[in-house]
């Protein structure tokens, strides 16, 4: 009844979304603030009769707004049902291990190996540097590869790379292989590689509405890249599902992209809360990695990540721990509101 393909799959496990009780939810890097009020205004006035029509398969308006926002042309933008979907299309379109394995960092977004298994792509993990930053030279030293993917800032460390380092990598990496930068968290303090796409035809940048745009429930992601790469993603989409982005998502996303003032404000707030929380961690004697994201990867000597997770869960606070060798002493803590972080800090002081 089931294919061999299916039997080979080990699915990605997202962070918990418990429905049983109210938690302070700091485990899936969601934004603590609501999306732009312009999104709510739109949803209140939706003409439901229009839902009898299929959505625009080319997301024309939303693409145009994204192009304007990021200073590129519309044909350098592709939109999908969350960046997970866009990433999946990228794996299908660009990485073919006949030319060598796909390379990604040893500790990174754990969906990458799942896509590799799904599409039968060989991969090789490249060790992080001593300070846990992504080792771009390590990608070059690793021998022939069919492409590279890494998040900037990386997950779950939160550590960002400066743009000049990515540009230097692009200058040394073969031009006929794609370099994918997953910028899910870039708005919280990183430098986007989107600035390079006009000069680097083999560079593609993946972005999401789920974090800084506070729209994880809407499922919108997009990529910025050379026209040929974007065209390839349309080919994958149109071989899979003509309409992955529904009408409501396209229209609500459009309202969000246009409200830069609101998003700049809440992003600045998240960053300020993160920096204050990092100072609290130092005061409490915890260790942490320097974060450019909306989460902090931290731990405390003598306590395992799992113990931290369980202790905080009992107090009604959810954080994420990774049952992975090398990361077991850490938890990943999403930045919430000041009030949520104050409750967390109080629980850490009392119970950990
Ligand atoms: N990339 C990274 C590095 C992530 O952490 C996440 C969130 N789990 C995603 C991509 C996917 O985000 P989404 O599908 O919600 O756009």
Q: Give the chain's domains with CATH numbers.
A: 4-34+261-351 (3.90.1150.10), 37-259 (3.40.640.10)
The pLDDT of residue 215 is 98
The pLDDT of residue 283 is 98
At residue 14 the predicted structure's pLDDT band, cuts being 50, 70 and 90, is confident
Contact 242, 215 (CB under 8 A): no
- CA 83–ligand 1 middle distance (angstroms): 6
- CA 344–ligand 1 middle distance (angstroms): 24
For the CA of 83, the closest atom of ligand 1 is 16
At residue 19 the predicted structure's pLDDT band, cuts being 50, 70 and 90, is confident
Residue 178: how many other CB atoms lie within 10 Å: 23
Cis peptide before 156 (omega within 30 of 0): yes
At residue 256 the predicted structure's pLDDT band, cuts being 50, 70 and 90, is very high
What is the arithmetic mean of pLDDT over 239-248? 97
- CA 211–ligand 1 middle distance (angstroms): 8
- Give 286-310 pLDDT, tens digit per residue: 999 999 999 999 999 999 999 999 9
Q: In terms of Cα–Cα distance, which of 153, 203, 195 is closest to 177?
A: 203
Of 11, 14, 184, the one to substitute when testing ligand 1's pocket (max ligand atoms within 8 A of C-beta) is 184
CB 184 near ligand 1, within 6 Å: yes
What number of residues does the chain have? 352
At residue 20 the predicted structure's pLDDT band, cuts being 50, 70 and 90, is confident
Distances (CA, A) of 29 to 190, 200, 332: 16, 30, 9
CB 80 near ligand 1, within 6 Å: no
Contacting residues for 70 by C-beta, under 8 A, at least 6 apart: 77, 192, 194, 224
- CA 12–ligand 1 middle distance (angstroms): 12
Q: By CB neighbour count within 10 A (0-12 exposed, 13-18 middle, 19+ buried), where does 52 fall?
A: exposed
CB 155 near ligand 1, within 6 Å: yes
CB 253 near ligand 1, within 6 Å: no
Answer whether residue 113 shows pLDDT above 80: yes
CB 221 near ligand 1, within 6 Å: yes
For the CA of 154, the closest atom of ligand 1 is 3
CB 135 near ligand 1, within 6 Å: no
The secondary structure of 161-209 as a DSSP string is --HHHHHHHHHHS-TTSEEEEE-TTGGGT---GGGGTTT-TTEEEEEES
At residue 21 the predicted structure's pLDDT band, cuts being 50, 70 and 90, is confident
What is the arithmetic mean of pLDDT over 329-333? 98
At residue 86 the predicted structure's pLDDT band, cuts being 50, 70 and 90, is very high
Of the listed ranges 6-15, 61-70, 199-208, 216-225, the one predicted with least confidence? 6-15
Contact 270, 31 (CB under 8 A): yes
Q: Match 């954080």 to its residue by tokens.
A: 319
Give the H or E element holding residue 112.
Answer: helix 112-119
pTM (whole model) above 0.85: yes
């Amino acid at each position: 009844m089931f294919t061999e393909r299916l039997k080979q799959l080990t699915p990605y496990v997202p962070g918990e979304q418990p429905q049983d009780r109210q938690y302070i939810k700091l485990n899936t890097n969601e934004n603590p603030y609501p999306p732009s009020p312009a999104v709510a205004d739109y949803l209140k006035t939706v003409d439901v009769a229009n839902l009898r029509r299929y959505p625009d398969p080319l997301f024309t308006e939303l693409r145009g707004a994204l192009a304007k926002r990021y200073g590129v042309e519309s044909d350098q933008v592709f939109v999908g049902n969350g960046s997970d979907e866009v990433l999946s299309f990228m794996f299908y379109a660009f990485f073919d291990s006949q030319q060598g394995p796909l390379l990604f960092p040893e500790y990174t977004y754990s969906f990458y190996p799942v896509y590799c298994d799904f599409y039968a792509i060989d991969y090789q993990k490249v060790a992080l540097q001593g300070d846990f930053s992504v080792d771009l030279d390590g990608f070059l030293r690793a021998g022939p590869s069919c492409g590279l993917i890494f998040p900037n800032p990386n997950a779950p460390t939160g550590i960002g790379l400066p743009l000049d380092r990515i540009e230097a990598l692009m200058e040394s990496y073969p031009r006929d292989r794609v370099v994918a930068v997953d910028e899910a968290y870039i708005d919280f303090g990183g430098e986007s590689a989107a600035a390079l796409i006009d000069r680097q035809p083999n560079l593609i940048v993946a972005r999401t509405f789920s974090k800084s745009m506070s729209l994880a429930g809407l499922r919108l992601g997009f990529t910025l890249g050379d026209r040929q790469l974007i065209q390839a993603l349309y080919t994958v989409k149109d071989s899979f599902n003509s309409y992955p982005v529904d009408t409501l998502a396209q229209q609500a996303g459009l309202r969000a992209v246009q409200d830069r003032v609101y998003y700049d404000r809440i992003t600045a707030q998240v960053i300020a809360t993160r920096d204050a929380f990092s100072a609290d961690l130092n005061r409490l004697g915890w260790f942490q990695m320097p974060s450019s994201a909306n989460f902090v990867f931290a731990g405390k000597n003598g306590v395992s990540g799992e113990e931290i997770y369980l202790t905080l869960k009992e107090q009604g606070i959810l954080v994420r721990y990774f049952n992975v060798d090398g990361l077991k002493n850490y938890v990943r803590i999403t930045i919430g509101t000041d009030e949520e972080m104050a409750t967390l800090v109080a629980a850490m002081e009392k119970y950990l």
